[in-house]
Structure 1
Amino acid sequence: MNGCQQPKQQSFFQQMTKAEQQAFLQELKSDYRQILIDYFTTDKTLKEKIDKFINAVFCANIPVPQIIEIHMELIDEFSKQLKLEGRSDETLLDYRLTLIDILAHLCELYRRSLLK
């Protein structure tokens, strides 16, 4: 977690058009979906995926409620799919840990950026 590659990149999300914002959020959502899928596996690239996601969120200055919204949308999609398959969605409660982990990484990145 090194922070933004380009300091001027901070808050570029707010300067995007609505269409660009939607495309960027869809990309973040796709990245986060993969993190959720891999979170309880032995995927050796999970740490890098989390770091990439956190760096993108940090550099774009995405508000934390937006991250929570992405998480909730994906969990809702997973829940609907499990119900369609006749399976319990109870295990999805464990994925709160993923959100906590992501937010902890983001807090650490913000903390480090303030120390510079």
Structure 2
Amino acid sequence: MSLEQNLFEQLKLDYRQIIINYFVNNEASRERIDKFINKVFDYNLPIPKIIEIHMDLIDELSKQLKVEGRSDDILLDYRLTLIDILAHLCEMYRCSHR
């Protein structure tokens, strides 16, 4: 596995933890998001890759919920996670170009 693939897999694991804990409003969740955004920024990961990570994870969770016989409607709320991540990242890019 290449360094880029390792990074991508680590980011997917990090994002999974962000999703799982996103609606738990605590300092650890905010720190996890900040660390993720810093990694993405440092590695100059393209926005479509972040969206790919999000969509892959949501797809996995949807399949899991269907196997369990549960509705995946709740996953729509996790669009907020993606919006939050992208907004913070855009702010970092904006501030870096001053």
Q: Same fold (TM over 0.5)?
A: yes
TMscore range, shorter length: over 0.9
**Which of structures 1 and 2 has the larger relative contact order (alpha carbons within 8 angstroms, sep 6+)?**
1
C-alpha displacement of 1:19: 1.2
The whole-number CA distance in structure 2 between the counterparts of 1:43 and 1:86 is 30
**1:109 CA drift (Å):** 0.3
Shift of 1:41: 1.6
Structure-1 separation of matches of 2:90 and 2:27 = 23
Helix, strand or coil at the partner of 1:41: coil
2:77 pairs with 1:85: no
1:67 aligns with 2:50: yes
2:39 alignment partner in structure 1 = 56
List per-residue Cα deviations over 1:1-57 (Å, max 9, x = no partner): xxxxxxxxxxxxxxxxx7111110000000000000000123430111011000000
Residue number among 28, 47, 65 corresponding to 2:30 in the alignment? 47
The letter for the 2-side match of 1:61 is: N
Q: Which has the higher helix share?
A: 2
> Given residue 53 of structure 2, which amino acid in structure 1 is its aligned partner?
I
Distance across 1 between alignment mates of 2:91 and 2:78: 20
Amino acid at match of 1:78: L
d(CA) in 2 for partners of 1:30, 1:43: 19
State the Cα distance separating 1:77 from its structure 2 match: 0.3
Q: Which runs of 5+ in 2 are unaligned?
A: none
Q: Output the TM-score relative to the length of structure 2.
A: 0.96
Runs of 4 or more, structure 1, over 3 Å off, are none
Q: Distance in 1 between matches of 2:70 and 2:21?
A: 19
Root mean square deviation, CA, Å: 1.0
Deviations 1:46-77 (A, max 9, x none): 11101100000000000000000000000000
Q: Where does the alignment leave 5 or more consecutive residues of structure 1 unmatched?
A: 1-17
